[in-house]
Chains A and B, each alone.
Chain A
Amino acid sequence: MSASETNGMEKSAALYGMLAEFRNPKELIDAAMLVNKSGYTKYDTFSPFPVHGMDKAMSLKKSKLGWIVLLHGFIGFTGAITMMYFMAVADYPLNISGKPFLNGPAWVPITFELTVLLSAFGAVFGMFFLNGLPKLNNPLFSVERFKKATDDGFFVCIEADDTQFETEKVRKLFEEAGATHIEEVYD
């Protein structure tokens, strides 16, 4: 690797990334596009609510959550049927109202409920998993201004360990994008 990069590495040893604030969703999207075009990968945008079109702007890939949910739903479904078969047919069959041990119709509700339950677990915990949450500490929290991200602030952050990261270049990029504030974030 080249010297300049190694220097850059050293310089930004404590540096987490560069944070820029924008006025509104429109500017945020434009900024995101710009950053995205400029070929940065380790960056993120922050807004108090999901901004529509941001996925395109950042060209985010389709979420894998669907598959996780499907898997869990399948576990719930088969699990329910297996459980009921074991309990009512295999392990301790009882003559109840003269009905057959394997009483299909009666098993529908519980099968359904357990499928839904497991799918829901999949959806929620899968989402947290994909988002790497819970993550109670985050270098961005050290930035006082970043508190606005959950109120009315719109931020872009390019992380220092992005291969193209260079403090000045990034700062210029942000200025072009019309950021109102730009500051370095250390962890």
Chain B
Amino acid sequence: MNVEILAAGILTGGLYALIGLGISLTFGVLGMMNLAHGEFVIAGAYLASLLVTGAGWDPLAVLPLAMIAVALIAYPLQRFLLTPLLRASKTAPLVATFGLLLLAEALFQAVFGTHPKTLPAPYAAAGITIFGIRVQTVYVIAFALTVVLCGATHLLLTRTRAGSAVRAASADPETAAILGINVGRVYAMTLAFAAALAAAGGVMTGVAQSFTPTSGLPLLLTGFAVMALAGIGTVGGVLLAGVTLGVIQSVAVSVFGGGWSDVVVYLVFFLALAIRPQGLFRRAAA
């Protein structure tokens, strides 16, 4: 087995983990499967493209702005559309996020056109050699970014008051509300944060690959695959699951050929759901 294939798999796995982290958060805290998560990713890429191709900024400089912008879009969506639906019925949020997916795809198409776009950057086509292995610079940067964001998420959740409020609301919303936690605001902040993570993933995806208005759905499934592998519980588990998925995919492609790269993701996802729905890396205690 070629080391470079493994290395490429690990690095792309970092990007997968970033996408999966947002989905994990949303499902873990809100109990909602957000079908529009892939659209948050692409929204990050498109919003970044406004400054990157429009004003020539570097994508990494635009990244925080894209994260904030997408978070600002997600907050009212959760607060005023999705939270009321969460209380109403079990299937309504799923269908509503599905409607958001359709709407987002159509809006991207209307505003940005259907041509594939990329975010140009000096490191987009650069490679570096680490420990004698040749890898793409952009994926190294994405992996580093993922680690930083995962660390930040973990710290936020475990070391801050806001994080405790989130964990309380996710464990028992009713009791949390009685204790004075504004559950509606917590839910909205969580989705906004998840959306920001998605946007970060989107910017890096935009630099490393190209994106179109319909690129969101495959990314959504990748994120779900990571979540299914990881289970709900730890941020570190999501990172490990992402890397695992990346490696499995990379190995499968080199053994069976390029056509299997997507199939592998879906098969892994489905098998994980069916055989071990609680995930591989779930911590035993909540």
Q: Do A and B bind each other?
A: no
Q: Which residues in B have some Cβ–Cβ distance to A below 8 Å?
A: none
